[in-house]
Amino acid sequence: MTLFTMILTLGSIFGGLALMLWLAFRQNANK
Amino acid sequence: MAKRDFFVSRWGFVLSLLGIAIGAGNIWRFSRVVAQNGGGSFIIPWVIFLFIWSIPLILAEIAMGKLTKKAPIGAIVKTAGPSFGWMGAFIALVASGILFYYSVVVGWGFRYFFYSISGELAKTTDHSALWHSFSHSFQPLFFHLASIIIGCLIIYKGISKGIERSNKILVPALLVIILVIAIRALTLPGAWKGISYFFTPHLTDLKNYRVWIAALTQNAWDTGAGWGLLLVYSGYTRQGESVTINGCLTAFGNNAVSLIMGMTIFATAFALENQMGLQSLSIGEGSTNTGLTFIYIPKLFQALPGGEGVHAAFAAIFFLAFSFAALSSMLSMLQLTTQVFNELGIKRTRAILLTGGIALLFGTPSALSMAFFENQDWVWSIGLIMNGLFIAFGVIRYGTDRFRREMINGVKGDFKVGKFYNFIIKYAIPAQGIFLIGWYFYQSMTLDAEWWNPFHIYSVGTIVFQWGGALIIFLILNKKLVKRTLKS
Protein backbone atom coordinates (compact mmCIF):
# COMPACT_ATOMS: atom_id res chain seq x y z
CA MET A 1 0.00 0.00 0.00
CA THR A 2 2.89 2.36 0.83
CA LEU A 3 4.49 1.77 -2.56
CA PHE A 4 1.13 2.20 -4.32
CA THR A 5 0.46 5.57 -2.61
CA MET A 6 4.03 6.65 -3.28
CA ILE A 7 3.78 5.88 -7.01
CA LEU A 8 0.32 7.46 -7.21
CA THR A 9 1.35 10.66 -5.44
CA LEU A 10 4.79 11.15 -6.90
CA GLY A 11 3.52 10.00 -10.30
CA SER A 12 0.61 12.43 -10.39
CA ILE A 13 2.52 15.47 -9.08
CA PHE A 14 5.96 14.99 -10.65
CA GLY A 15 4.48 13.27 -13.72
CA GLY A 16 2.11 16.20 -14.15
CA LEU A 17 4.98 18.64 -13.71
CA ALA A 18 7.15 16.82 -16.26
CA LEU A 19 4.28 16.67 -18.76
CA MET A 20 3.56 20.39 -18.40
CA LEU A 21 7.25 21.24 -18.80
CA TRP A 22 7.38 19.16 -21.97
CA LEU A 23 4.22 20.85 -23.32
CA ALA A 24 5.63 24.27 -22.45
CA PHE A 25 8.92 23.62 -24.26
CA ARG A 26 7.03 22.25 -27.26
CA GLN A 27 4.72 25.28 -27.29
CA ASN A 28 7.71 27.63 -27.14
CA ALA A 29 9.46 25.79 -29.97
CA ASN A 30 6.36 26.07 -32.19
CA LYS A 31 5.98 29.83 -31.70
CA MET B 1 -1.15 57.21 -20.25
CA ALA B 2 1.95 55.39 -18.98
CA LYS B 3 3.19 52.49 -21.11
CA ARG B 4 2.14 49.17 -19.61
CA ASP B 5 4.94 46.99 -18.25
CA PHE B 6 4.97 43.30 -19.19
CA PHE B 7 6.68 40.07 -18.16
CA VAL B 8 9.49 39.83 -20.68
CA SER B 9 9.79 36.04 -20.85
CA ARG B 10 7.50 33.09 -20.35
CA TRP B 11 9.83 31.50 -17.80
CA GLY B 12 10.04 34.76 -15.88
CA PHE B 13 6.24 34.76 -15.68
CA VAL B 14 6.03 31.08 -14.67
CA LEU B 15 8.72 31.55 -11.99
CA SER B 16 6.79 34.55 -10.69
CA LEU B 17 3.59 32.48 -10.52
CA LEU B 18 5.57 29.82 -8.66
CA GLY B 19 6.92 32.56 -6.41
CA ILE B 20 3.34 33.37 -5.41
CA ALA B 21 2.29 29.76 -4.85
CA ILE B 22 5.41 28.53 -3.04
CA GLY B 23 5.41 30.22 0.32
CA ALA B 24 5.74 29.61 4.02
CA GLY B 25 2.74 27.23 3.85
CA ASN B 26 4.74 24.66 1.86
CA ILE B 27 7.43 24.65 4.50
CA TRP B 28 5.80 25.28 7.85
CA ARG B 29 2.24 24.09 7.45
CA PHE B 30 2.29 21.10 5.10
CA SER B 31 4.45 18.74 7.20
CA ARG B 32 2.56 19.50 10.41
CA VAL B 33 -0.82 18.87 8.77
CA VAL B 34 0.44 15.61 7.21
CA ALA B 35 1.68 14.47 10.64
CA GLN B 36 -1.62 15.36 12.32
CA ASN B 37 -3.73 13.59 9.70
CA GLY B 38 -2.18 10.18 9.38
CA GLY B 39 0.61 10.62 6.81
CA GLY B 40 -0.31 8.84 3.58
CA SER B 41 -4.01 9.04 4.48
CA PHE B 42 -3.79 12.80 4.07
CA ILE B 43 -1.75 12.73 0.88
CA ILE B 44 -4.47 10.97 -1.18
CA PRO B 45 -7.27 13.56 -0.61
CA TRP B 46 -4.67 16.31 -0.87
CA VAL B 47 -3.92 15.22 -4.45
CA ILE B 48 -7.65 14.88 -5.26
CA PHE B 49 -8.47 18.42 -4.06
CA LEU B 50 -5.62 19.78 -6.16
CA PHE B 51 -7.71 18.84 -9.19
CA ILE B 52 -11.12 19.99 -7.96
CA TRP B 53 -10.25 23.17 -6.06
CA SER B 54 -6.77 24.51 -6.81
CA ILE B 55 -6.27 23.91 -10.54
CA PRO B 56 -9.76 25.13 -11.65
CA LEU B 57 -9.35 28.34 -9.61
CA ILE B 58 -5.76 28.89 -10.78
CA LEU B 59 -6.93 28.62 -14.41
CA ALA B 60 -9.85 30.96 -13.68
CA GLU B 61 -7.56 33.57 -12.14
CA ILE B 62 -4.95 33.47 -14.91
CA ALA B 63 -7.63 33.73 -17.60
CA MET B 64 -9.46 36.48 -15.71
CA GLY B 65 -6.24 38.49 -15.34
CA LYS B 66 -5.48 38.16 -19.05
CA LEU B 67 -9.05 39.12 -19.97
CA THR B 68 -9.45 42.16 -17.73
CA LYS B 69 -5.84 43.35 -17.13
CA LYS B 70 -7.09 44.72 -13.82
CA ALA B 71 -6.64 44.17 -10.10
CA PRO B 72 -9.49 42.32 -8.29
CA ILE B 73 -12.02 45.20 -8.24
CA GLY B 74 -11.78 45.79 -11.98
CA ALA B 75 -11.55 42.07 -12.73
CA ILE B 76 -14.77 41.28 -10.87
CA VAL B 77 -16.55 44.31 -12.35
CA LYS B 78 -15.56 43.28 -15.88
CA THR B 79 -16.71 39.70 -15.40
CA ALA B 80 -19.56 39.81 -12.87
CA GLY B 81 -20.81 43.34 -13.51
CA PRO B 82 -20.59 46.76 -11.84
CA SER B 83 -22.92 45.82 -8.98
CA PHE B 84 -20.26 43.48 -7.64
CA GLY B 85 -17.23 45.75 -7.31
CA TRP B 86 -17.45 45.24 -3.54
CA MET B 87 -16.56 41.57 -4.06
CA GLY B 88 -13.34 42.59 -5.79
CA ALA B 89 -12.61 45.03 -2.97
CA PHE B 90 -13.07 42.19 -0.48
CA ILE B 91 -10.65 39.97 -2.44
CA ALA B 92 -8.10 42.81 -2.33
CA LEU B 93 -8.70 43.37 1.37
CA VAL B 94 -8.08 39.69 2.19
CA ALA B 95 -4.79 39.68 0.25
CA SER B 96 -3.80 42.94 1.97
CA GLY B 97 -4.87 41.61 5.37
CA ILE B 98 -2.54 38.65 4.82
CA LEU B 99 0.24 40.95 3.60
CA PHE B 100 0.16 42.85 6.92
CA TYR B 101 1.18 39.82 8.97
CA TYR B 102 2.99 37.91 6.22
CA SER B 103 5.62 40.65 6.08
CA VAL B 104 6.23 39.87 9.76
CA VAL B 105 6.86 36.21 8.82
CA VAL B 106 9.35 37.29 6.13
CA GLY B 107 11.11 39.29 8.85
CA TRP B 108 11.25 36.24 11.15
CA GLY B 109 12.90 34.31 8.31
CA PHE B 110 15.52 37.04 7.87
CA ARG B 111 16.26 37.10 11.63
CA TYR B 112 16.68 33.34 11.84
CA PHE B 113 18.97 33.39 8.82
CA PHE B 114 21.18 35.86 10.71
CA TYR B 115 20.92 33.73 13.89
CA SER B 116 22.15 30.82 11.75
CA ILE B 117 25.13 32.49 10.08
CA SER B 118 26.24 34.06 13.36
CA GLY B 119 26.35 30.54 14.85
CA GLU B 120 23.94 31.51 17.64
CA LEU B 121 21.31 29.01 16.49
CA ALA B 122 23.79 26.15 16.31
CA LYS B 123 25.14 26.95 19.79
CA THR B 124 21.88 27.42 21.68
CA THR B 125 20.64 24.58 23.88
CA ASP B 126 17.13 25.98 24.36
CA HIS B 127 15.50 26.81 21.01
CA SER B 128 12.18 27.44 22.66
CA ALA B 129 13.69 30.15 24.88
CA LEU B 130 15.48 31.70 21.90
CA TRP B 131 12.21 31.88 19.94
CA HIS B 132 10.30 33.31 22.90
CA SER B 133 12.91 35.94 23.69
CA PHE B 134 12.94 36.99 20.03
CA SER B 135 9.17 36.94 19.41
CA HIS B 136 8.44 38.84 22.64
CA SER B 137 10.96 41.59 21.92
CA PHE B 138 10.86 44.60 19.57
CA GLN B 139 13.15 42.84 17.09
CA PRO B 140 10.30 41.45 14.93
CA LEU B 141 9.19 45.03 14.31
CA PHE B 142 12.60 45.96 12.95
CA PHE B 143 12.72 42.93 10.63
CA HIS B 144 9.09 43.56 9.61
CA LEU B 145 10.15 47.06 8.53
CA ALA B 146 13.15 45.63 6.66
CA SER B 147 10.97 43.16 4.75
CA ILE B 148 8.54 45.91 3.72
CA ILE B 149 11.34 48.21 2.55
CA ILE B 150 12.94 45.43 0.46
CA GLY B 151 9.53 44.46 -0.97
CA CYS B 152 8.57 48.04 -1.85
CA LEU B 153 11.92 48.69 -3.54
CA ILE B 154 11.40 45.63 -5.75
CA ILE B 155 7.82 46.67 -6.59
CA TYR B 156 9.04 50.19 -7.39
CA LYS B 157 11.32 48.77 -10.10
CA GLY B 158 8.22 47.48 -11.91
CA ILE B 159 7.02 44.16 -13.29
CA SER B 160 9.88 43.17 -15.62
CA LYS B 161 12.79 44.81 -13.80
CA GLY B 162 11.51 44.26 -10.28
CA ILE B 163 9.14 41.31 -9.85
CA GLU B 164 10.29 39.20 -12.80
CA ARG B 165 14.02 39.68 -12.17
CA SER B 166 13.70 39.00 -8.42
CA ASN B 167 11.68 35.84 -8.97
CA LYS B 168 14.18 34.65 -11.57
CA ILE B 169 16.73 34.65 -8.73
CA LEU B 170 14.61 33.80 -5.67
CA VAL B 171 12.66 30.81 -7.04
CA PRO B 172 15.51 28.85 -8.71
CA ALA B 173 17.72 29.53 -5.65
CA LEU B 174 14.93 28.25 -3.42
CA LEU B 175 14.56 25.08 -5.52
CA VAL B 176 18.31 24.37 -5.43
CA ILE B 177 18.45 24.86 -1.64
CA ILE B 178 15.44 22.59 -1.12
CA LEU B 179 17.07 19.87 -3.22
CA VAL B 180 20.35 20.14 -1.26
CA ILE B 181 18.53 19.79 2.08
CA ALA B 182 16.38 16.95 0.69
CA ILE B 183 19.42 14.96 -0.49
CA ARG B 184 21.02 15.30 2.96
CA ALA B 185 17.80 14.25 4.70
CA LEU B 186 17.08 11.28 2.47
CA THR B 187 20.61 9.90 2.90
CA LEU B 188 20.41 9.86 6.71
CA PRO B 189 20.36 6.36 8.23
CA GLY B 190 16.73 5.54 9.10
CA ALA B 191 15.27 8.14 6.74
CA TRP B 192 13.12 5.47 5.08
CA LYS B 193 10.99 5.15 8.24
CA GLY B 194 9.83 8.72 7.79
CA ILE B 195 9.22 8.31 4.05
CA SER B 196 7.31 5.12 4.73
CA TYR B 197 5.03 6.87 7.24
CA PHE B 198 4.62 9.81 4.88
CA PHE B 199 3.22 7.53 2.14
CA THR B 200 1.34 4.86 4.12
CA PRO B 201 -2.43 5.36 4.10
CA HIS B 202 -4.71 3.89 6.77
CA LEU B 203 -8.31 3.07 5.92
CA THR B 204 -9.57 4.37 9.27
CA ASP B 205 -8.00 7.78 8.62
CA LEU B 206 -9.27 7.82 5.04
CA LYS B 207 -12.81 7.34 6.38
CA ASN B 208 -12.35 10.27 8.74
CA TYR B 209 -13.99 13.39 7.25
CA ARG B 210 -11.59 15.63 9.20
CA VAL B 211 -8.67 14.33 7.12
CA TRP B 212 -10.54 15.34 3.94
CA ILE B 213 -11.34 18.77 5.39
CA ALA B 214 -7.67 19.26 6.31
CA ALA B 215 -6.65 18.27 2.75
CA LEU B 216 -9.10 20.73 1.17
CA THR B 217 -7.98 23.47 3.55
CA GLN B 218 -4.33 22.88 2.70
CA ASN B 219 -5.17 23.23 -1.01
CA ALA B 220 -7.19 26.39 -0.40
CA TRP B 221 -4.40 28.04 1.60
CA ASP B 222 -1.21 26.76 0.08
CA THR B 223 -1.51 26.71 -3.72
CA GLY B 224 -2.16 30.41 -4.24
CA ALA B 225 -5.55 29.58 -5.79
CA GLY B 226 -8.27 32.12 -5.14
CA TRP B 227 -6.08 34.78 -3.56
CA GLY B 228 -6.39 37.21 -6.48
CA LEU B 229 -2.59 37.33 -6.77
CA LEU B 230 -2.22 35.15 -9.88
CA LEU B 231 -4.90 37.32 -11.45
CA VAL B 232 -2.82 40.47 -10.95
CA TYR B 233 0.41 39.02 -12.43
CA SER B 234 -1.51 37.54 -15.38
CA GLY B 235 -2.69 41.03 -16.32
CA TYR B 236 0.92 41.76 -17.31
CA THR B 237 1.29 39.00 -19.90
CA ARG B 238 1.11 39.28 -23.65
CA GLN B 239 -1.88 38.15 -25.71
CA GLY B 240 -0.66 34.68 -26.72
CA GLU B 241 0.62 33.68 -23.27
CA SER B 242 -0.48 30.21 -22.15
CA VAL B 243 -3.26 29.71 -19.60
CA THR B 244 -3.66 25.97 -19.11
CA ILE B 245 -0.01 24.91 -19.31
CA ASN B 246 1.27 27.78 -17.16
CA GLY B 247 -1.55 27.27 -14.65
CA CYS B 248 -0.88 23.55 -14.29
CA LEU B 249 2.89 24.18 -14.09
CA THR B 250 2.19 26.45 -11.12
CA ALA B 251 -0.07 23.94 -9.39
CA PHE B 252 2.16 20.88 -9.91
CA GLY B 253 5.34 22.87 -9.19
CA ASN B 254 3.91 24.15 -5.91
CA ASN B 255 2.79 20.70 -4.78
CA ALA B 256 6.09 19.15 -5.86
CA VAL B 257 7.86 21.56 -3.50
CA SER B 258 5.44 20.64 -0.70
CA LEU B 259 6.15 16.95 -1.28
CA ILE B 260 9.93 17.43 -1.29
CA MET B 261 9.78 19.53 1.90
CA GLY B 262 7.43 17.02 3.53
CA MET B 263 9.68 14.07 2.70
CA THR B 264 12.72 16.05 3.91
CA ILE B 265 11.17 16.94 7.27
CA PHE B 266 9.68 13.47 7.87
CA ALA B 267 12.92 11.73 6.89
CA THR B 268 14.94 13.95 9.22
CA ALA B 269 12.49 13.73 12.12
CA PHE B 270 12.21 9.93 11.96
CA ALA B 271 15.93 9.40 11.35
CA LEU B 272 17.02 11.54 14.27
CA GLU B 273 14.17 11.08 16.73
CA ASN B 274 12.54 7.81 15.66
CA GLN B 275 8.87 7.65 16.77
CA MET B 276 9.30 10.80 18.85
CA GLY B 277 9.74 12.61 15.55
CA LEU B 278 6.09 12.09 14.61
CA GLN B 279 4.94 13.36 17.99
CA SER B 280 7.14 16.44 17.72
CA LEU B 281 5.86 17.17 14.22
CA SER B 282 2.21 16.78 15.26
CA ILE B 283 2.25 18.70 18.49
CA GLY B 284 4.92 21.31 17.90
CA GLU B 285 5.74 23.97 20.42
CA GLY B 286 4.48 27.50 20.66
CA SER B 287 2.07 28.44 17.93
CA THR B 288 1.77 25.31 15.80
CA ASN B 289 3.38 26.58 12.59
CA THR B 290 6.04 28.71 14.24
CA GLY B 291 6.86 25.89 16.65
CA LEU B 292 7.78 23.54 13.82
CA THR B 293 9.86 26.06 11.91
CA PHE B 294 11.61 28.07 14.58
CA ILE B 295 11.91 25.58 17.44
CA TYR B 296 11.77 22.03 16.18
CA ILE B 297 13.64 22.26 12.84
CA PRO B 298 16.67 24.11 14.31
CA LYS B 299 16.77 21.38 16.99
CA LEU B 300 16.78 18.74 14.25
CA PHE B 301 19.66 20.44 12.45
CA GLN B 302 21.66 20.28 15.70
CA ALA B 303 21.22 16.52 15.71
CA LEU B 304 22.72 16.11 12.21
CA PRO B 305 26.04 14.28 12.01
CA GLY B 306 28.93 16.79 11.88
CA GLY B 307 30.05 19.72 13.97
CA GLU B 308 28.66 23.15 14.72
CA GLY B 309 29.72 24.39 11.28
CA VAL B 310 27.52 21.79 9.55
CA HIS B 311 24.56 22.60 11.83
CA ALA B 312 24.94 26.33 11.19
CA ALA B 313 25.28 25.81 7.42
CA PHE B 314 22.13 23.70 7.13
CA ALA B 315 20.14 26.04 9.36
CA ALA B 316 21.35 29.02 7.29
CA ILE B 317 20.34 27.56 3.94
CA PHE B 318 17.00 26.38 5.37
CA PHE B 319 16.12 29.88 6.65
CA LEU B 320 17.40 31.42 3.43
CA ALA B 321 14.98 29.16 1.54
CA PHE B 322 12.19 30.03 3.97
CA SER B 323 12.85 33.78 3.54
CA PHE B 324 13.01 33.49 -0.25
CA ALA B 325 9.74 31.54 -0.38
CA ALA B 326 7.95 34.02 1.87
CA LEU B 327 9.45 37.10 0.19
CA SER B 328 8.47 35.99 -3.33
CA SER B 329 4.87 35.51 -2.15
CA MET B 330 4.88 38.84 -0.29
CA LEU B 331 5.91 40.68 -3.46
CA SER B 332 2.67 39.67 -5.15
CA MET B 333 0.60 40.90 -2.19
CA LEU B 334 2.41 44.25 -2.28
CA GLN B 335 1.85 44.46 -6.04
CA LEU B 336 -1.86 43.67 -5.66
CA THR B 337 -2.46 46.34 -3.00
CA THR B 338 -0.38 48.90 -4.90
CA GLN B 339 -2.27 48.20 -8.10
CA VAL B 340 -5.66 48.56 -6.38
CA PHE B 341 -4.64 52.01 -5.06
CA ASN B 342 -3.20 52.87 -8.46
CA GLU B 343 -6.43 51.93 -10.22
CA LEU B 344 -8.37 54.02 -7.71
CA GLY B 345 -6.49 57.05 -9.00
CA ILE B 346 -3.40 57.26 -6.79
CA LYS B 347 -0.11 57.68 -8.68
CA ARG B 348 2.09 54.60 -8.69
CA THR B 349 4.93 55.87 -6.51
CA ARG B 350 2.48 57.24 -3.96
CA ALA B 351 0.51 53.98 -4.11
CA ILE B 352 3.69 52.03 -3.27
CA LEU B 353 4.47 54.34 -0.35
CA LEU B 354 0.88 54.12 0.85
CA THR B 355 0.92 50.30 0.64
CA GLY B 356 4.25 50.12 2.48
CA GLY B 357 3.04 52.57 5.14
CA ILE B 358 -0.24 50.73 5.71
CA ALA B 359 1.54 47.35 5.81
CA LEU B 360 3.99 48.70 8.39
CA LEU B 361 1.22 50.22 10.49
CA PHE B 362 -1.26 47.34 10.40
CA GLY B 363 1.49 44.72 10.63
CA THR B 364 2.95 46.25 13.79
CA PRO B 365 0.44 44.63 16.20
CA SER B 366 1.18 41.23 14.60
CA ALA B 367 4.92 41.86 14.94
CA LEU B 368 4.54 42.59 18.65
CA SER B 369 1.82 40.15 19.70
CA MET B 370 1.48 36.48 18.76
CA ALA B 371 -2.20 36.55 19.83
CA PHE B 372 -2.92 39.35 17.35
CA PHE B 373 -0.91 37.52 14.67
CA GLU B 374 -2.95 34.34 15.20
CA ASN B 375 -6.22 36.27 15.09
CA GLN B 376 -5.30 37.87 11.75
CA ASP B 377 -4.21 34.52 10.36
CA TRP B 378 -7.61 33.03 11.38
CA VAL B 379 -9.71 35.89 9.97
CA TRP B 380 -8.01 36.30 6.60
CA SER B 381 -7.25 32.62 5.97
CA ILE B 382 -10.98 31.90 6.10
CA GLY B 383 -11.39 35.01 3.93
CA LEU B 384 -9.29 33.27 1.27
CA ILE B 385 -11.98 30.63 0.86
CA MET B 386 -14.50 33.44 0.33
CA ASN B 387 -12.12 34.89 -2.30
CA GLY B 388 -12.22 31.58 -4.18
CA LEU B 389 -16.02 31.72 -4.13
CA PHE B 390 -16.05 35.29 -5.45
CA ILE B 391 -13.69 34.41 -8.31
CA ALA B 392 -15.89 31.44 -9.25
CA PHE B 393 -18.90 33.81 -9.06
CA GLY B 394 -17.18 36.16 -11.53
CA VAL B 395 -16.66 33.29 -13.98
CA ILE B 396 -20.27 32.10 -13.58
CA ARG B 397 -21.67 35.61 -14.17
CA TYR B 398 -19.47 36.01 -17.27
CA GLY B 399 -20.80 32.68 -18.55
CA THR B 400 -18.84 29.63 -17.46
CA ASP B 401 -18.85 27.89 -20.83
CA ARG B 402 -18.00 31.09 -22.71
CA PHE B 403 -15.19 31.78 -20.25
CA ARG B 404 -13.83 28.26 -20.71
CA ARG B 405 -14.00 28.36 -24.51
CA GLU B 406 -12.78 31.91 -25.08
CA MET B 407 -10.49 32.66 -22.17
CA ILE B 408 -9.11 29.32 -20.96
CA ASN B 409 -9.06 27.43 -24.24
CA GLY B 410 -8.39 30.43 -26.46
CA VAL B 411 -4.60 30.18 -26.60
CA LYS B 412 -2.89 28.46 -29.55
CA GLY B 413 -0.83 25.45 -28.51
CA ASP B 414 -2.40 25.13 -25.04
CA PHE B 415 -4.13 21.90 -24.11
CA LYS B 416 -7.90 22.31 -23.95
CA VAL B 417 -10.08 21.97 -20.87
CA GLY B 418 -13.29 19.94 -21.25
CA LYS B 419 -16.86 20.71 -20.23
CA PHE B 420 -16.35 19.13 -16.81
CA TYR B 421 -14.69 22.47 -15.94
CA ASN B 422 -18.13 24.12 -16.07
CA PHE B 423 -19.46 21.66 -13.49
CA ILE B 424 -16.48 22.20 -11.18
CA ILE B 425 -16.79 25.99 -11.24
CA LYS B 426 -20.59 26.08 -11.00
CA TYR B 427 -21.13 23.40 -8.39
CA ALA B 428 -17.98 21.78 -6.95
CA ILE B 429 -16.14 25.01 -5.98
CA PRO B 430 -19.20 26.67 -4.35
CA ALA B 431 -20.06 23.44 -2.50
CA GLN B 432 -16.49 23.03 -1.19
CA GLY B 433 -16.13 26.68 -0.22
CA ILE B 434 -19.48 26.99 1.55
CA PHE B 435 -18.89 23.71 3.36
CA LEU B 436 -15.41 24.77 4.52
CA ILE B 437 -16.53 28.16 5.83
CA GLY B 438 -19.52 26.51 7.53
CA TRP B 439 -17.25 23.89 9.04
CA TYR B 440 -14.82 26.42 10.52
CA PHE B 441 -17.70 28.47 11.95
CA TYR B 442 -19.18 25.31 13.49
CA GLN B 443 -15.77 24.35 14.91
CA SER B 444 -15.38 27.77 16.49
CA MET B 445 -18.90 27.64 17.96
CA THR B 446 -18.31 24.25 19.56
CA LEU B 447 -14.82 25.01 20.89
CA ASP B 448 -15.41 28.53 22.20
CA ALA B 449 -18.33 29.23 24.57
CA GLU B 450 -18.04 32.91 23.67
CA TRP B 451 -17.88 32.26 19.94
CA TRP B 452 -19.70 35.54 19.31
CA ASN B 453 -17.01 37.59 21.10
CA PRO B 454 -15.10 39.70 18.51
CA PHE B 455 -12.10 39.92 20.85
CA HIS B 456 -11.50 36.16 21.01
CA ILE B 457 -8.70 34.98 18.74
CA TYR B 458 -10.52 32.14 16.96
CA SER B 459 -14.16 33.24 17.25
CA VAL B 460 -16.90 33.58 14.65
CA GLY B 461 -17.54 37.03 16.16
CA THR B 462 -14.09 38.30 15.21
CA ILE B 463 -14.62 37.20 11.60
CA VAL B 464 -18.11 38.71 11.37
CA PHE B 465 -16.83 41.92 12.97
CA GLN B 466 -13.84 42.34 10.65
CA TRP B 467 -15.38 41.02 7.43
CA GLY B 468 -18.73 42.67 8.16
CA GLY B 469 -17.21 46.11 8.80
CA ALA B 470 -15.25 45.95 5.56
CA LEU B 471 -18.17 44.61 3.50
CA ILE B 472 -20.53 47.35 4.72
CA ILE B 473 -17.99 50.03 3.75
CA PHE B 474 -17.38 48.41 0.35
CA LEU B 475 -21.11 48.09 -0.35
CA ILE B 476 -21.66 51.77 0.49
CA LEU B 477 -18.71 52.82 -1.67
CA ASN B 478 -19.40 50.35 -4.48
CA LYS B 479 -20.37 52.93 -7.11
CA LYS B 480 -17.34 55.11 -6.39
CA LEU B 481 -14.94 52.16 -6.35
CA VAL B 482 -16.27 50.90 -9.68
CA LYS B 483 -16.27 54.32 -11.35
CA ARG B 484 -12.71 55.13 -10.32
CA THR B 485 -11.37 51.69 -11.20
CA LEU B 486 -12.90 51.66 -14.66
CA LYS B 487 -11.66 55.21 -15.31
CA SER B 488 -8.02 54.19 -14.78
Rounded to a whole number of angstroms, the distance from the CA of B346 to the nearest CA of chain A is 38
pLDDT band with cut points at 50, 70 and 90 for residue B1: very low
pLDDT of residue B275: 63
A29 part of contact set with chain B, CB < 8 Å:
no
What are the backbone dihedrals phi and psi of residue B190, each rounded to the nearest 5 degrees, phi first? Answer: 90, 5
Cα angle B426-B226-B472, degrees, rounded to a multiple of 5: 90
Min Cα distance A9 → chain B (Å) is: 7
B75-89, B149-163, B264-278, B354-368 — which is least confidently predicted? B264-278
For B486, left (φ over 0), alpha (ψ -120 to 50), or beta?
alpha
Q: Is B427 on the interface with A (CB under 8 A)?
A: no
- pLDDT reading at B457 higher than 50: yes
* B240, closest residue in chain A (CA to CA): A31
Count CB neighbours of B243 within 10 A.
27
**SS3 state at B177:** helix
φ and ψ of B38, to 5 deg: 80, 30
Write out pLDDT tens, residues B2-27. Answer: 567 899 999 999 999 999 999 988 88
What is the separation, in whole angstroms, between the first and last Cα of chain B?
9
Q: Do A2 and B196 touch (CB under 8 A)?
A: yes
User: Nearest C-alpha of chain A: how many angstroms from B342?
Assistant: 33
pTM for this model (two decimals): 0.94
Q: Is B10 an 8 Å CB contact of chain A?
A: yes
Q: How many CB atoms lie within 10 A of CB B406?
A: 13
Report for B33-37, B293-297, B449-453, B478-482: range of highest mean pLDDT:
B478-482
Q: Which of B34-43, B49-58, B295-304 has the highest mean pLDDT?
A: B49-58
Residue B286 has pLDDT above 60, yes or no: no
Q: Do A20 and B249 touch (CB under 8 A)?
A: yes
Do B211 and B41 contact (CB within 8 A), yes or no?
yes
Residue B256, phi then psi, degrees to nearest 5:
-65, -40
**In this complex, do B245 and A20 lie within 8 Å of one another by their Cβ atoms?**
yes
Output the pLDDT for position B2.
55
Is B450's pLDDT higher than 70?
A: yes
Main-chain dihedrals φ then ψ at residue B417, nearest 5 degrees: -100, 135
Residues of A in contact with B50 (CB under 8 A): 13
The answer to whether A1 contacts chain B (CB < 8 Å) is: yes
Q: Is B291 exposed, middle or buried (0-12, 13-18, 19+ CB in 10 A)?
A: buried
pLDDT of residue B108: 95
Decide if the complex's ipTM is over 0.90.
yes
Give the pLDDT band (50/70/90) at residue B37.
confident
Please tell me what DSSP assigns to residue B118. Answer: T
Residue % of chain B over a pLDDT of 70: 96
* Residues of chain A found within 8 Å of residue B245, distances taken between Cβ atoms: 20, 23-24, 27
Residue B413 has pLDDT above 90, yes or no: no
| Per-residue confidence band for B167, with pLDDT thresholds at 50, 70 and 90 | very high
**Identity of the residue numbered B460:** V
Question: Chain B contact for A27, CB < 8 A?
Answer: yes
Partner A contacted by B310 (CB < 8 A)? no
Q: What's the pLDDT tens digit per position in A1-31?
A: 889 999 999 999 999 999 999 999 999 988 7
Secondary structure class of B126 (helix, strand, coil):
coil
Question: Does B265 have pLDDT greater than 70?
Answer: yes
List, for residues B337-385, the tens digit of each pLDDT value: 999 999 999 999 999 999 999 999 999 999 999 899 989 989 998 999 9
CA distance B432 to chain A (A): 22
Chain B (230-269) residues lying within 8 Å, Cβ to Cβ, of chain A: 240, 242, 245-246, 248-249, 251-253, 255-256, 259
Closest CB to B43 among A9, A16, A26: A9
| A22 touching B (Cβ < 8 Å) | no
Mean pLDDT over all residues of chain B?
92
CB contacts, 8 Å: A5 with chain B: 40, 43-44, 199-201
Instruction: Indicate the Cα dihedral angle B105, B7, B54, B37, nearest 10°.
Output: -30
Which one has a higher pLDDT value, B302 or B69? Answer: B69
